[in-house]
Structure 1
Amino acid sequence: MKIYRKELENVTISILNDIKNNQQMINKLKNRMITHGMLSGEVIRIISNPEKIKDLSIGMLYLFIIQLHSVTEDELIHPNMLGLYNCEIKSKFLTKLSDKSQYIYLRVFEISAEVEVARDTDLFDLGLDDIEIILYSLRPLTTDASHVNGRIVTSYINWSLQHGYSKGNKNELSEKKVKWFDQFVYDKNLQLYFNDSTIRKIEDDCLNYQDMVIVRLLFEGVQGKSLSEIRNIQKGNMDFNTNTVQLKDENGNERTVKLSDRAISIIERAFQQETYIKKNGQMEEDDHMSDKTKLVENDYLIRSSLTKTTSYEKEVEKMVVYRRIQTIAKTLGIECLTAKNIVRSGMIYEGKLILEKKGILEKEDYQKICDKFAMPKQNWYPLKKFINEKTIAELYN
């Protein structure tokens, strides 16, 4: 964070120097910061001497950057690059804490952002299942550290309820005993990410092409919010001659991507599949229940079983895809096989290819990976946490 903060400070100082003679922008910035709790004199001091930006707490720095962007519309300080969901609300919360605590809380918010973005929901309105995913993702090494994470999330939700940000009326975490948070302590032997050979092995161990195709598409960058790009694929979107597919997310945004020969082969077979094997072939014997089920007949790539849908001509619900991933993870005994980790594994693989070619990973390379995985290019910096030479070396020797 210190290196990242320094970069933010330098860009902010440069922009402040550029606008110092634009009185209209200066006045807008001053008024906006005053409404966020900064004294008029503090704003004037920073505008007069931009180096003073370095004296701000991280929460107030983020608030300053957000307001500076709203005034200047300078993309060098786009709020997305801060790596938080609902950055302004979280920054307001951070300013209520001590300087040291702000950095501790900030790490939690950086980790929670991925789930928040995927659900398009702030942490304070997430369900307990999603909060558990975040608490696991924080990877605490001790029970004390896990308890601290729990208190951080709990306090943020309580604050959001008090200030009317949350849509709910109670904090489920407040009802959990301290012992409940022990389950999130990180096991160092757990594998979070997978190399391409392991992903192929996982695919080969799937008895359903309907499941195999989900893993493959995630690894190759097809996702979208709530996995909408995968759920929306229909036969008419495919061009098997050029290995391309026309994708559409739940907001209607479209893009065309080129897939590998392996992906195309799996997609063809997934379209052809008519019967789904339950629990990846690990159903307990039962004379009254079949271990297979018929799939809905429509033009969508991913289809529900006939017994579990009321929508025969629509894309499947997102939970159908998430449940299938959970089933694969459970039946294959791979605890950390999640959509997020498959996607990140694919990103790491792309980083590996670039590193082999260039010998270095630069900003433009991370932005290229963002583009492939349908992420805003402004969000490139957080990728460095897991797409780096160390992680690549660990996965690919």
Structure 2
Amino acid sequence: MSNAYLNETELYNKKLKEEFVSRYPESAHNVYRRIFYYSAAAERMYGIDLYEFNLNQISEVLFSINASSLASVKSAVSIVRAYIDWAIHRRSNNINPLDIIDGDWEKQFVDSTKKLFFSKNEIDEIISKSKNAQDAVIIALLFEGAGGKEVSELRNLRPEDVDYEDKSITLTNENGEQRLIKVEDQTLHLIKEAIRQGDYYKRNGHVSPNARNTKETSELIETGYVIKPAKTKVVHVEQVNTHLIYARLSGISDEDMLDIPNFTVKNIQRSGMVYMAKQILDRDGKFEDREQYFEICKKFGVNTIDNNGYETYNWFPIKQFVNIDMINQLYGDDSLS
């Protein structure tokens, strides 16, 4: 079910749902409403509110979400449980059916065919299979925290923005605002190789011998930026456009290349957030504090919001996928080892 469709869906018993949602920070409202959008169809079909659902009816709602991770399922279950607890006085039997479940019950609702997150080892393997440093550096930078609107921080990166001794890079977004992040040695190496690369291997070096133009490479144009365009009839004099970044990731993930579904800018960045959470867990022995989330927000350039006159990171949405469950799902017993 698409976001557009969800936004057009009328909540069942809307006034009551909105009363419940209003108890939470405004930044969380859409997260809660989304669950109620999914439950609306079942509520209308049965003619009762979600607070009156039995376990089988709740299961129908959870299956309809098509969650790709256990963390997403647990988040949805938590919201439904909280709603039923809040409205328990309206329920016919005063019993919350979700009080009897365990983690194994929740696993059935995970769509295991829909992989959206990648471990550090998986990212490293994809990078190792990328014939172009120009492609590999995009993956590494996204995983390390670079982004910005329309991936402006990648597109604006210049060789002089890289400090190899300090192991850091200065990122510039679409508004010219700058921030500095630390990066790993591998990323620095890929940046250096991307700067040096003069010819770009088409289709990751897998040009069909039957292709009309069988030349394996295209000449790259020096523009003063780390990520460079290939020479075409159109003359490029500045940084690459957003579509080139997307096209290169699409080329890597194409089923005829490495065949990696859902290998997108957002999913690579989110995977990087989970990896950073794992590192924080290994460092601190726990991962639960707001300050720990703020470290991730700072590294990945998460937007800030005004919270009663106090500027803070909009960190609540990332809790849906940056949490202990997702760390365990991707890294298992590797944490705290």
How high is the TM-score relative to the length of structure 2? 0.65
1:248 corresponds in structure 2 to: 172
Listed one character per residue, the Cα deviations across residues 322-350 of structure 1 (whole Å, up to 9, x for unaligned) are: 01001111110111211111111100001
- 1:350 pairs with 2:279: no
2:232 corresponds in structure 1 to: 307
Letter in 2 for 1:389: I
1:332 to 258, 283, 286: 258
What is the SS of the residue equivalent to 1:276?
strand
2:222 corresponds in structure 1 to: 297
Measured after TM superposition, the shift of residue 287 of structure 1 is: 5.6
Q: Which runs of 5+ in 2 are unaligned?
A: 1-13, 41-64, 69-109, 304-311, 333-337
Q: In the aligned structure 2, how far is the partner of 1:231 from the partner of 1:280?
A: 21
Aligned residues of 2:144 and 2:272 also touching (Cα < 8 A): yes
- 1:384 pairs with 2:319: yes
What is the SS of the residue equivalent to 1:306?
coil
1:118 corresponds in structure 2 to: none
Task: Report the CA distance shift for 1:372/1:102 in structure 2 as closer, same or farther (over 3 A).
Answer: closer
1:82 corresponds in structure 2 to: 28
Q: In the aligned structure 1, how far is the partner of 2:117 from the partner of 2:177?
A: 29
Letter in 1 for 2:222: E
Q: Which runs of 5+ in 1 are unaligned?
A: 1-54, 66-75, 95-100, 108-137, 142-185
1:365 to 292, 302, 319: 292
Measured after TM superposition, the shift of residue 268 of structure 1 is: 0.3
- 1:215 pairs with 2:139: yes
Measured after TM superposition, the shift of residue 140 of structure 1 is: 6.6
Task: Report the CA distance shift for 1:208/1:83 in structure 2 as closer, same or farther (over 3 A).
Answer: farther
Mean CA deviation greater in 379-388 or 214-223:
379-388
Aligned residues of 2:168 and 2:180 also touching (Cα < 8 A): yes
Aligned residues of 1:231 and 1:315 also touching (Cα < 8 A): yes
Aligned residues of 2:119 and 2:275 also touching (Cα < 8 A): yes
Q: In the aligned structure 2, how far is the partner of 1:195 from the partner of 1:279?
A: 24
1:260 corresponds in structure 2 to: 184
* Matched residue count: 242
Letter in 2 for 1:250: E
How high is the TM-score relative to the length of structure 1? 0.56
- 1:396 pairs with 2:328: no
Task: Report the CA distance shift for 1:102/1:237 in structure 2 as closer, same or farther (over 3 A).
Answer: closer
Q: Which has the higher helix share?
A: 1
Matches within 5 A, 1:190-229: 190-229=114-153
1:178 corresponds in structure 2 to: none
